[in-house]
Amino acid sequence: MKAPFRLRSLRGRLLLWLVALHLVAIAATVWLSYGAYGRLVNTFMDDQMRLVADSHASHRRPPTLPPATADDAIRRGSFVVQIWTTDGRRLLASSWPGLDLPLQSEPGFSDVRVGTRREDAWRVYTAEAGTLADMPRVQVVQNDSFRRNRIVRRALLESLPILLMLPVTLLILLFIVSAASRSLRAVARDVAAQEEGDPAEVPIASVPEEIAPLVTAFNSLLGRLRNSLSAQRRFMQDAAHELRTPMTAIGLQIENLRAHVPAGAAVERFAQLESGVKRAQHLIEQLLRLSRQDAPAASARGPVDVATLLRDSVGQLMVLADRRRVDVGFEGRIAPHVCAPPAELRSVFDNLIDNAVRYAPQGGVVDVRLHIVDGQPVVDVLDNGPGIPADQLERVFNRFFRVAGAPAGGSGLGLAIAQAAALRNGLRIVLANRTDGAGLRARVYLPGSS
């Protein structure tokens, strides 16, 4: 069954209801005007008919009556005067002889129909018989359709101002709705600008009263969401801090145990244990870093020299690169400055370079390039590792997701941390497998730099 039609636009609903209201007002005005003006016209015309009849009834002899035509009687509503004998059997004079209407038996007003057409209905006033025996009888007749037409025209004219006001009212309504829509759009922009770490609520001072409860409810929901996220961050930080101390102690115990491991299969088992502990320590550090990045940014934003920051990142990771015999190079063709917290930018580039060094093969190459692509400054981090399957290029930004066959020691959080920091500061990371050889290219598009 087809669903009933419903207007989704508030403006459309208001216009529809306003048009319907005007139509109802027009109909009510026509009906009331028809009744009121009908009584007025009928009373006035009846009085005129009585005066005409009385003026002719005072003559003993039939007066000369001005002739009238059918058009005068029917279309213009002229009075038709009939002079009858005292007994009413013979018509002595008539202003329109073509009207075949007998003298009514009872004096006073009556409605008579002589045919089936609208024009065949007549309003009749029959004067009372005179005091003298030979005085004529007078009867005055007026077409009833003329009266009705005049009443209808008058009633329609009464409703004409409302009809003329309809387009003006619609224009005014459009202006009012547009102004209200601007308020709603302003509220929508304030809502869209809200961030999970922003303590400020959507202001309701300039919000229309009708949607103020909705904004208040949204602020309440946003507050509960922030409290929930804050509790999750605190739990992650507390858990990571609590795990850091025993894992550090375990690492020291393993270092002390190294000299007491006998040769043979025990060395291989010990190496696996040491690798697992190091991975756990790395995971705890990444969790701490991730929880700090999820928290509201408190560091100052200022112009950061990207070239200098990249050199520091490369230098910090040289120990890991030397251990894996990976050649890391930096090429800076430009020197842009980005307005962002330095710690946030370091988090982006440290994780991308660290990821490239870990995935590059033993004796591989990692290149960090700062240059212009299509008129926009970018940072490319290239490695000659195995790359990432095309269907997983977007999934690697998910937390704890690791590509099948990835080397041990990773936590699956590095790219998630880099992506979160990049999005907060207007950067964009695009991963793509290299077309000039094996490996991956991580390209970071810098925001408005100077």
290-305 pLDDT, tens digit each: 665 555 554 456 688 9
pTM of the model as a whole: 0.45
**Could you tell me how many residues make up the chain?**
450
156 pLDDT tier (thresholds 50, 70, 90): confident
Position 408 pLDDT exceeds 60: no
Question: 6 vs 334, which has greater pLDDT?
Answer: 334
Per residue, the 3-state secondary structure of 262-285, as one string, reads CCCHHHHHHHHHHHHHHHHHHHHH
Position 211 pLDDT exceeds 80: no
Position 130 pLDDT exceeds 80: no
Residue 410 phi/psi, 5° resolution?
A: -85, 165
380 pLDDT tier (thresholds 50, 70, 90): very high
The total of other beta-carbon atoms located within 10 Å of residue 173's CB is: 16
Residues contacting residue 37 through CB under 8 Å, at least 6 positions apart = 151, 154, 155, 158
Q: Are 248 and 281 in contact (CB under 8 A)?
A: yes
Could you list the beta-strand ranges (E) of 60-210: 80-84, 91-94, 108-113, 121-126, 137-143
Helix (H) or strand (E) holding 329: strand 327-332
In whole angstroms, give the CA distance from residue 378 to residue 442.
10
Position 23 pLDDT exceeds 60: yes
In whole angstroms, give the CA distance from residue 318 to residue 325.
10
Question: 375 vs 279, which has greater pLDDT?
Answer: 375
- Give the model confidence (pLDDT) of 43-96 as tens digits: 999 999 999 888 887 776 767 788 888 888 888 888 999 888 888 888 888 888
Helix (H) or strand (E) holding 384: none
Q: Burial code of 130-158, b = ≥16 C-beta within 10 A, e = fewer? A: beeeebbbbbbbbbbbbbbeebeebbeeb
Q: Are 351 and 312 in contact (CB under 8 A)?
A: no
Residues contacting residue 392 through CB under 8 Å, at least 6 positions apart = 403
**Going by DSSP bridges, is the β-strand pair 302-305/337-340 parallel, antiparallel, or unpaired?**
antiparallel
Question: 298 vs 390, which has greater pLDDT?
Answer: 390
pLDDT value of position 181: 75
For residue 108 the two structure tokens come to 């006073």
Could you list the beta-strand ranges (E) of 114-185: 121-126, 137-143
pLDDT value of position 53: 87
Task: Tell whether the torsion through CA atoms of 77, 78, 79 and 84 is positive or negative.
Answer: negative
- Give the model confidence (pLDDT) of 226-249 as tens digits: 777 777 766 666 566 566 667 777
The mean of the pLDDT values for the chain is 80
CA distances from 92 to 62, 82, 103, 379 (A): 7, 8, 12, 117
pLDDT value of position 355: 84
In whole angstroms, give the CA distance from residue 53 to residue 103.
13
In whole angstroms, give the CA distance from residue 373 to residue 445.
9
Share of the chain above pLDDT 70, in %: 84
> What integer is the mean pLDDT of 363-369?
90
pLDDT value of position 217: 84
pLDDT value of position 240: 62
CA distances from 68 to 80, 91, 109, 359 (A): 7, 16, 22, 114
Question: 443 vs 167, which has greater pLDDT?
Answer: 443
